[in-house]
Structure 1
């Protein structure tokens, strides 16, 4: 799999869509940012059509091996919330839209980074079933599951395919939680939220808030079509039931700054944490998984001399 080298130059109209200095400061304080309209209606229509084709069985390629903790819905799982990791690898049409340099440029402004690469892309389908337990995503932050990443500046772009508000169970942030000092040890939350009791994670959130003398302020992201919600890798977030009568469809595009590398992380029992990439990506000269592998972690944005 190869991609043409992208042109990282933005048009003047695109530059006007970047976060302002004040918005970058707000992101640093609050841990989340709601963008201007970054995708055109045509691009969102193409994403929707490509996802329909994906759900019908189309793949441009499949993963060479199945990672140990892959999120990958199949029809046999039933009418539950669907997650498909590595959609940016398996579907070229989806990848082409997600690789829009403007998305990387916005992330670079927020993260104060010179380069932004894809880390993971997960397509999500939340069916309109108010009582379906899988539709409720409990409180967590993404860095819990990225213990093998050296960076503390990673972030996620949440890209809905439609207007996305409270009734659809939109993504909801815990304001300022990325600045909390976390309680617990190195094992505290490396298991995925789907493998844990929701009440346990709610209690973990409350305990961390108390420990930091902070209020649990929940901020639902009301996202117009074509706009994108960004959040810091340590921002607690979750989502509620979809009571809208329509499926909630989106992609969580997880992003890494160019300085991010693999670091070994051991649990207290001596076992080693393994991220799904670690069985897929190429190796560095010293034998570590290479999180700059362009096949699985392509570059979205690299600043030029004039940026």
Structure 2
């Protein structure tokens, strides 16, 4: 079990935390571009570990296969690769993704004293401009996390290299995390990879119109070692990779310490199921435990108020 003493920030780390003004910007706009949080050496180590992962190296495998698991393998060909639970299956990948500084940044943005990993997805977007899977349509993460009680969850997008529009960087819809959903409930973007891009475009436009808002798209221009963070209700997507090399990244989904499982029902009355629900341990009242350290390790715990504005 990780102890509080293990969550340590150096003076150099302190200079990399968001300022109060930047936290306020995140709360207003739904996204944040960080300072450099990973060294070049850490990213070299991370990329080497992911190459071994793609070659089949695992420190452990999931005991059961969840129903909606993203698990690219070579037989799938040159499509966009998505592999979930890489922080669980690879010790080398997990050790880097659990860096306390990343958790501390997330804690300030979310206004929390504890941050846990919720999910991690390894992504490779091949340099194939016409590959349909390379375009990620508009969606927001909370639609996947309907069984999570928290409204403060967030995602860190961690590219292994400079990430620009040319290679299909992640793009945010500014301020969309503040929008109210359509009363009909027809704006869910769950399972976007299985759906027509035009349908997701129409949902975004309808949601903006319902809120009297303009769709303002902000491409995240991310230097190597930096990353973007976005709120769980921020619409985002990405375009094709027009560069001559793969776009490599990890999408690191994070939960605040207050998050827990809550039952959520589909339109037919059946329960929504997240992949964790067949993997994590059970709570005393027999619910999936989203604090299970095997799958949802803590990456930050502590009061950061003393760090605010201390530059």
Flag structure 2 segments of 5+ consecutive residues without an equivalent.
307-311
1:52-131 correspondence runs (5 A): 52-131=51-130
Query: Could you tell me whether the CA contact under 8 Å between 1:159 and 1:251 is conserved in 2?
Result: yes
Name the SS for the 2:8 alignment partner: coil
Question: For the structure 1 residues 305 and 126, does the alpha-carbon distance in structure 2 shift closer, same or farther, using more than 3 Å as the test?
Answer: closer
1:1-307 correspondence runs (5 A): 7-186=6-185, 188-189=187-188, 191-304=190-303, 307=306
**Deviation sequence 1:207-249 (CA, Å, 0-9, x none):** 0001111110000000000001000000000000000011000
**1:305 offset after TM fit, Å?**
8.5
Query: Could you tell me whether the CA contact under 8 Å between 2:71 and 2:82 is conserved in 1?
Result: yes
Q: Which moved more, 1:189-198 or 1:150-159?
A: 189-198
- Partners of 2:251 and 2:202 lie apart in 1 by 25
- Partners of 1:139 and 1:132 lie apart in 2 by 17
Name the SS for the 1:238 alignment partner: strand
**Deviation sequence 1:276-296 (CA, Å, 0-9, x none):** 000000000000000000000
**Deviation sequence 1:112-154 (CA, Å, 0-9, x none):** 0010000000000000000000000000000000000000000
Query: Could you tell me whether the CA contact under 8 Å between 2:187 and 2:207 is conserved in 1?
Result: no
Name the SS for the 1:37 alignment partner: coil
Measured on the aligned residues, the alpha-carbon RMSD in Å equals 1.4
- Partners of 2:191 and 2:305 lie apart in 1 by 41
Question: For the structure 1 residues 305 and 109, does the alpha-carbon distance in structure 2 shift closer, same or farther, using more than 3 Å as the test?
Answer: closer
How many residues end up aligned between the 2 structures? 306
TM-score, structure 1 length as denominator?
A: 0.97
TM-score, structure 2 length as denominator?
A: 0.96
- Partners of 1:49 and 1:3 lie apart in 2 by 26
Name the SS for the 2:83 alignment partner: strand
Query: Could you tell me whether the CA contact under 8 Å between 2:54 and 2:73 is conserved in 1?
Result: no
Flag structure 1 segments of 5+ consecutive residues without an equivalent.
none
Question: For the structure 1 residues 41 and 26, does the alpha-carbon distance in structure 2 shift closer, same or farther, using more than 3 Å as the test?
Answer: same
Name the SS for the 1:83 alignment partner: strand
- Partners of 1:166 and 1:6 lie apart in 2 by 40
